[in-house]
Amino acid sequence: MASLSNWFRYVSTKCGYSVSLYQKTHGRVDAKSLDTIIKTILMGKLTFLHKSKGEEVAPTIGTQGGTFLVRRIPRADATNVFVGDLVVLKDPINSDKYLVRRLAAIEGHEMASADEKDEPFVLEKNECWVLAENEDLKPKDSYDSRSFGPVTMKDIIGRAIYCLRNDVDHGPVNNSHLSTSEDSPVLAMELDVDEMKKNHKQ
């Protein structure tokens, strides 16, 4: 059972999420928007389930794939996603698909290549660099920023906070310290392992 502290933090997080979601879809918040925001707070969930598989995320989900509990992030930026987070983002090549990758760098970070022929460059505003989880993959075999380049922060739709590999192997995802702290009330209130198991078997 979630503690009272987690409950208050969860409600506060839902309020922030609801306002951010409204601003993203409608623009500025005014008195007329309060009804919509309150409905989102009362009825909306901060998470969704996402099934994933592939060598790129094999160390986290295993070779057979897994199901992630993902915290929704309507407007990703450097204040709510952090280096070290496992994020879910739109595939920059095929926007109908989603990728799970580790956030390796954000705007302002200088990027250098292992190839001395490549010039270093700095990530521009709202850009980020994502990498496959599987460090054993060669860069040419990893479908990540090393192959498709920087992606925009707006392509990030959420952060993976819990992973289920099978009925007995599941647990929280290792993210940045800041994200782990921010996501703890969401995890306490919305984690349903039984639901994840059902989804995983479908």
Q: Which residues are catalytic?
A: 56, 101
- Spell out the residues 6+ positions from residue 177 whose beta carbon is closer than 8 angstroms to its own: none
- Residue pair 143/116 in contact (Cβ under 8 Å)? The answer is no
Question: What stretch of H or E contains 23?
Answer: helix 4-26
Here the tokens at position 3 are: 């503690």
CA distance 168 to 190: 19
Q: What residues contact residue 41 under an 8 Å CB cut-off, 6+ apart?
A: 11, 14, 15, 18
In our burial notation (b when 16+ CB lie closer than 10 A, e otherwise), range 110-123 reads ebeeeeeeeeeeeb
At 179, which amino acid appears?
Answer: S
Q: Which amino acid is present at 94?
A: N
Instruction: Name the phi and psi angles at 102, rounded to 5.
Output: -90, 130
